[in-house]
Amino acid sequence: MKFDKFFALAKEKGLSEAQIQISKTKSTSINLFHHEIDNFSIADTQSIIACGVVNGKFGISRTEKMGRDTFEFLVDGIIESARVNEKAEEVDLFKGSPKYHKKNVFSQALADADLKDTLVLLHKIEDDLYAYDKSITEVDSVAFEESEGFSEFYNSYGLKLKQRSNFFYIVGSAVAKKGEEVKTNYDICLSNDLQAFDEKAFVNGIGEGLIKKFGGTQCDAGKYPTVLKDDIFSHLLGYFLESVSSDEIQRHSSCLEGKLGQKIASSKLTISEKPLQKNVFFSYFDDEGVATSNKDIIKKGVLKTYLYNRETAKKDGVESTGNGSWAGNKIGIGFGNVIVKGSKRSFEEMISKVEKGVYITEIEGLGTGMNPHSGDFSCQAEGFMIRDGKIAEPLNLITLSGNLFKMLADIKSFDNKMKLHPSSFACTDVLIKKMAIGGK
């Protein structure tokens, strides 16, 4: 095996089990500003995470430095890490799942794409954004990145897993001015199918969103029926899924402790994790080598499962759900390809019965404005009033406050426009009964 020397050294130095993961990434990125490439960047990196068991204790070490003494550095690091580990439970590494659902998600067409053609596309985006409206004074960035990743997993039980993937993203960002009023808007497209990228729709989306923002004011502070745009809802759900982590549950820091099998959200809500869905977020094994699987997390408002790694699963006497993921120096809980079921209604139908409400299209500051344990949050927001079932005047510098769990219980409906976001969540816009809006 490629890493025989590592495993031999690990054994020689007293490790009963060992594991090594190697990640290699190659990427190219371009940024346009004022019709010129103002930034071009290329990268070629690799990193290793190694872990193992010494006297029943877990140890870990990591490096980006490849050389003659790399394996020694890693093995010594594992021993030192395990030496001070005080966890009572004995640990072991994984022997392997009965079946792995490997798929080829690498896009050869993207890897073969000519950068010159991509550059033509980027220039077109920039030109079309400037031409979209005369109030657009700057296209502050049109950026592209293509990235190829290759990861390998080996352990001393002979488990060998490999995955190759690639993706690109395009960012367009523009600034518009009317008098003293300055507005910005941007969008990101993440995919591995460059041919399917719809330049016109991308530019129109940014331009239209930008122009509509002019004249934004604050509404009166109060509680309003609130529609959250798909990306905002997906952002909030990311925090919710932290509460579904079995690690948080077992440490008594999740509000969902003891709620398995109970109705915790509106019956309109169904959330699934589909890591085996074939897209850029596809992953057929987790960081412990456990095969991933598709599953419902919430079905019609009922909490169906917590997310487990091997250690937390053992504590609860269940099987790992394949959600083991490196979090610093330990295996924590991760997730990807999370899908929220939409409805058959159009956006217009969904808001048609809202007499006076708000449509939140952007939020800022959730990173610090969210208490992920209590679910309380408060952040800067902007969007539009909804009056008599229709989108009305723009809103600016308002705040959106709420509690994540209450918000999920108050879901009234979804629309039918499903969008996959760079956060690996796919969802639609959502209507919430009432949320607190701060303004005048």
Partner 1 sequence: MRFTHKKEASMISTGLAIKVLNEALATGGDYGEIYLEETDAGSVMLENGKVETAGRRKSYGAGIRVLQKNASVYGYTSDLSEKSLINLAHGLANRFSDKPLFTVKSIEKQHVKVTNRIEDHLKDVAIEDKIAICRECYGVSSAVDKRIVRIQNVFTDDFKRIEIFSAEGEVGKRYENTEERGRLVMVVVASDNGKIETCFNGPGRYAGWKWFKDILDYKSVAKETAEKAIMMLTAAECPSGRFPVVITNGWGGVLFHEACGHSLEATATAKKLSVFSDSIGKQIASPLVSAYDDGTLPNEWGSNNVDSEGHVTQKNQLIKDGICVGFLVDKFNGRRLNMEANGVSRRQSYRYEPTSRMSNTYIAPGKDKAEDIIKDTKLGIFVANFGGGSVNPATGEFNFSACEAYIIRGGKVCEPVRGCTLIGSGKEVLLNIDRVGDDVGLGQGMCGSSSGSVPVNVGQPTIRISEITVGGRGGKLQ
Q: Which residues bind partner 1 (CB under 8 A)?
A: 33, 36-47, 59-66, 73, 77, 80-81, 84-88, 138, 140, 175, 182-184, 218, 221, 251-255, 328-330, 364-365, 367-369, 371, 373-374, 376-380, 396-402, 436, 438-440
Instruction: Find the shortest distance in angstroms from Cβ 193 to partner 1.
Output: 26
Smallest gap, in angstroms, from Cβ of residue 348 to partner 1? 29
Residue 215 φ/ψ, nearest 5 degrees: 85, 15
Q: Which CB atom, from 275 or from 402, has the smaller least distance to partner 1?
A: 402
Give counts: helices (H), strands (E), the chain.
Answer: 11, 20
In whole angstroms, give the CA distance from residue 81 to residue 354.
Answer: 57
Minimum CB separation of residue 381 from partner 1 in Å reads 8
> Is the Cβ of residue 273 or residue 287 nearer to partner 1 in the bound state?
287
The two three-digit tokens of residue 363, written as one number: 């939020």
Which two structure tokens, joined as six digits, stand for 62? 């990591």
Nearer to partner 1, 271 or 407 (CB): 407
| 275 or 372: CB nearest partner 1 | 372
Q: Strand 338-340 relative to strand 425-427: parallel, antiparallel, unpaired? A: parallel
Comparing CB distances to partner 1, the nearer of 401 and 416 is 401
Residue closer to partner 1 (CB basis): 16 or 403: 403
Q: Which CB atom, from 208 or from 364, has the smaller least distance to partner 1?
A: 364
**Cα–Cα distance for residue pair 250/21, rounded to 1 Å:** 28
- Give me the least distance between CB of 88 and partner 1, in Å please: 8
Q: How far is the CB of 172 from partner 1 (least distance, A)?
A: 14
22 vs 350 by CB, closer to partner 1: 22
Min dist. Cβ of residue 146 to partner 1 (A)? 14
Nearest residue (CB) to partner 1, 1 versus 88: 88
Q: How many CA atoms lie within 13 A of 116 on its CB side?
A: 0
Q: How far is the CB of 46 from partner 1 (least distance, A)?
A: 6
The pair of three-digit structure tokens given for residue 261, joined into one six-digit string = 């099998």
Answer for the pair 269, 409: CB distance below 8 angstroms, yes or no: no
CA angle 416, 419, 425 (to 5 degrees): 120
Supply the minimum distance, in Å, between the C-beta of residue 182 and partner 1: 5
| Minimum CB distance to partner 1, residue 289 (Å) | 19
Amino acid at 32: L
Backbone angles phi, psi at 172, to 5 degrees: -125, 135
* Closer by beta carbon to partner 1, 139 or else 291: 139
Contacts of residue 64, defined as CB under 8 A and 6 or more positions apart, other chains included, come to 45, 46, 47, 48
Do the beta carbons of residue 237 and residue 382 sit within 8 Å?
no
How far apart are CB 7 and partner 1 at their closest, in Å?
19
With b meaning 16 or more CB within 10 Å and e meaning fewer, what string describes 135-173?
bbebbebbbbbbbbebbbbbbbeebebebebbbbbbbbb
Q: Which is nearer to partner 1, 277 or 325 (CB)?
A: 325
State in angstroms the smallest separation of the CB of 129 from partner 1. 14
Shortest distance, position 278 Cβ to partner 1, whole Å: 29
Which residue number, 363 or 430, has a Cβ lying nearer to partner 1? 363
Dihedral sign (CA 239, 244, 247, 251)? positive
The CA–CA distances, whole Å, from 33 to 43, 72, 125, 130, 200 equal 21, 47, 12, 12, 19
The neighbouring-strand residues paired with 86 are none
DSSP string, 62-74: EES--STTHHHHH
Q: How far is the C-alpha of 439 from the C-alpha of 302, rounded, in Å?
A: 35
| Sign of the torsion formed by the C-alpha atoms of 156, 161, 164 and 167 | negative
Both tokens of 243, joined, read 């509460």
